[in-house]
Each structure stands twice: as structure tokens, then as C-alpha cells.
Structure 1
Amino acid sequence: MRRVVVYQLLSLDGVAESPDRFFAWDDVLDANLADVISTQDVVLLGRRSYDEWAPYWPTSDVEPFATFINGVTKHVVTSSPLEPAWTGATAVEGDPVAFVRTLKEADGGDVGVHASTTLARALLAAGVVDVLRLVVAPAIAGSGGRLLDGLTGVRLELLRSEASPTGCLVLDYRTSPA
């Protein structure tokens, strides 16, 4: 059975929107991201993330993520056509939770959820996320969309914690229903 792994960059106050405003990247974060994507062969994206990423990543040289995201199968939760087109991207119409449950039963590597906070929140609420891999920046964003707003009943078991040279916390949690 596959695992669903949510990878998210957050400020200390939980803001996930526009992390480039408050992140300073370093070697530990590079190694962590490489580890996260090394086990994933499918990615789930929400429509907003797709619209932001599809024009950017195909011409990006930010590695190792550019090679990964451009080559991996991408399922996008949306009810409208995917434009611009992006290699390996297909639309998922209907219930994303049912789709993820089907994906989990198939053979393969981890199913990654990147940047798509609304989708990640819905999957967490439905109990289909297995692992949360968070990177928390030493900054208070003050405003912006938060990953965990409105969630209840999710217990987390700490699997790993590490501080990076720029003061970020790398946190891996296993999830379980409350």
C-alpha cells in the first residue's frame, strides 16, 4: 500500500502561502527535499498550485525539484481543462478523497502532496494522509493561507526533527485519527 505524504513549507505561525517571502534555503533543506521526492512517483496538486507551477517549473533549473516535478505523474484536482498543458499532468474530477484511496491501493511509491494547502487539508481531515513532512521557517508571516486551519482530530507522532543552519525546523510526523 502506498503512503500519502504531505510536504509543506510553513512560517512559525503556520502560514503556507507564498513561502518565498519567509524562507532562506540551505544544504539541510536541499537534502531533506531530495529525500522527500526520492520515494514519490505520483504527485497530487490543487488547481491553484497547478496554475502557479505549470508556467514556472518546465523552464526552471532549480534542482532537484525541477527534474522531479517535470518528470513525475501529476494528478490535478480540478473541474476545468488544464491550461497551460504540462507534461504528465491529468485532471482529477470528482471526489479527491475517493481518488486518493484508489491511488493508495495501487502499487508504486509514495503519493506526494506539494504546496496545495486546501487539498492537503481536505486529505488530512479525511484521514488519508500517512505522513506530514513540514519545514518551519524562523519567521512570523502574519497573514496568508495556513495549512492546519479548521482541522480537528488528527494526532501526530514525531518521527524526526532537525534544525537547519538557517534556523528552519525539519519535522516529520506520522498521522493517525484522534
Structure 2
Amino acid sequence: MSLDGIIQAPGGPDEDKDGDFKHGGWAMPHFDATMGEAISAAQGETFDLLLGRRTYDIFADFWPKVEGDAMADGLNGATKYVATHRPDSLGWGPAEGLGEDIGARVRSLKERPGPDLIVWGSSTLTPLMFEWGLVDEALLLVFPVLLGGGKRFYSDQVPPRDLALVETRAASSGVLINTYRPAGALPQSGAAS
């Protein structure tokens, strides 16, 4: 995300132009090996994906074309659980729709044995996962850019949350790699006297 919380279209100029967003690809000039290592470590050897429909479509248009890359192999091989009204159009598999009650479905997926569920992007799905108490950990790559507008990491439609910093480090490109765990509701300051 950018310093001002924008997560829209980090990978390419045509990735997501909603709202006339003109800064697509803003993250790539800052990407380095340290960030790749952090992402690989966070995902682990095997994982499944929890994606919103737009992120699924963006990934499905790119990752199946990438060969000989560990990240691509992991993403392509992962089961994709997608928040969508069009589950019959999930051609990049293995994939399945989450159904009408997304929260209940994600809860059931988390209770089963198996790989971790990883959410990538999704300005609509991520805030809901926080609201429903379904986030165990958040890895946020904070890029040294200000974009001024676009889709944000966290919606102002969702209650505030407190996060506990677990680990932080800086990439040589200036990107901060921060790992957080949910710490409950936002604490309120004491009443003024």
C-alpha cells in the first residue's frame, strides 16, 4: 500500500482503472528481493487464496502466463476461494465461489485442516475479514509513495480496529515490511477533565 493507504493497481498501468485511476504500476519500481522473500515466507510452502472477484480476474489474466517462477507456481497451484456472483466463470483453477454467506464460508474454511488462507489485495474483502474477526495476521508492504486517491486498504464503512505490530523491517527500496496481528477494538482515550 502507499503511505496514504491506497492499494489500487500496484502491478501495472491497466490493472484497475476504476474511478479514473491513473497511477497503475506504482509499486513495481520499488520491488526488490527483500520484499519477495517476505512474501514467500508469509505464504509458506502451500497456501490457498481468498480473493475478491476483481483481484481474481486480475491475477487470472497474469499468473497463468508466468512460467519457471516459484511465486507463480504457488499462486497457480493454490485453491482460489472467490467472492463472486459468477462462480460458473472461474476458469483459473482450482477455484470455487464462496457463496452467499462469505463470512460463514471463510469461517468453515479456517476450521478445516489444510493450508493457510491468504488474501491478496481486495479493497472490499479485506475490510470485511477484519470486521468479521477472520484475520489472524496482516503483512503490509508500505511503499514510499503518496497517491492522493484510489481504493484504500481499509474502508471507512467498517469499525476501527487496533493492530499489534509483530515485526517490521525495511527493504533497500524504502518499502516497510510490517506484520500485524489484530488487537481488538480501537482503544478510546480517557474523557477530558
Deviation at 1:89, TM superposition (A): 1.1
Return the letter of the residue paired with 1:94.
Answer: E
Equivalences for residues 18-29 of structure 1 within 5 A: 18-20=9-11, 21-23=25-27, 24-29=30-35
Give yes or no for the alignment of 1:43 onto 2:49: yes
Equivalences for residues 1-178 of structure 1 within 5 A: 10-20=1-11, 21-23=25-27, 24-38=30-44, 40-61=46-67, 63-83=69-89, 85-150=91-156, 151-178=158-185
| Residue 62 to residue 37, structure 1, CA distance change in 2 (3 Å) | farther
Give distance in 2, aligned partners of 1:42 and 1:30.
Answer: 18
TM superposition score normalised by structure 1? 0.88
Give distance in 2, aligned partners of 1:39 and 1:126.
Answer: 27
Return the letter of the residue paired with 1:22.
Answer: W
Look at both structures and tell me which one has the larger radius of gyration over its CA atoms: 2
Deviation at 1:149, TM superposition (A): 2.5
Residue segments in structure 2 that go unaligned for 5+ positions in a row = 12-24, 186-193
Deviation at 1:52, TM superposition (A): 1.4
- Secondary structure in 2 matching 1:19: coil
Give distance in 1, aligned partners of 2:68 and 2:83.
Answer: 25
Residue segments in structure 1 that go unaligned for 5+ positions in a row = 1-9
Q: Which runs of 4 or more aligned residues in structure 1 lie more than 6 Å from their structure 2 counterparts after TM superposition?
A: none
Deviation at 1:61, TM superposition (A): 3.8
Give distance in 1, aligned partners of 2:139 and 2:90.
Answer: 29
- Secondary structure in 2 matching 1:177: strand
Return the letter of the residue paired with 2:107.
Answer: R
CA deviation profile, 1:106-135 (whole Å, cap 9, x unmatched): 112211111122111111111111111100
- Secondary structure in 2 matching 1:56: helix
The structure with the greater share of residues assigned to strand is: 1
CA deviation profile, 1:133-174 (whole Å, cap 9, x unmatched): 100000001111001131323111100000100000000001
Which residue number in structure 2 is paired with residue 4 of structure 1?
none
Return the letter of the residue paired with 2:89.
Answer: E
Give distance in 2, aligned partners of 1:132 and 1:62.
Answer: 28
Return the letter of the residue paired with 2:163.
Answer: L
| Residue 119 to residue 32, structure 1, CA distance change in 2 (3 Å) | same
User: Once superposed, what is the RMSD of the aligned Cα atoms?
Assistant: 1.6
- Stretch moving more, 140-149 or 78-87: 78-87
Deviation at 1:82, TM superposition (A): 4.5
Deviation at 1:33, TM superposition (A): 1.0
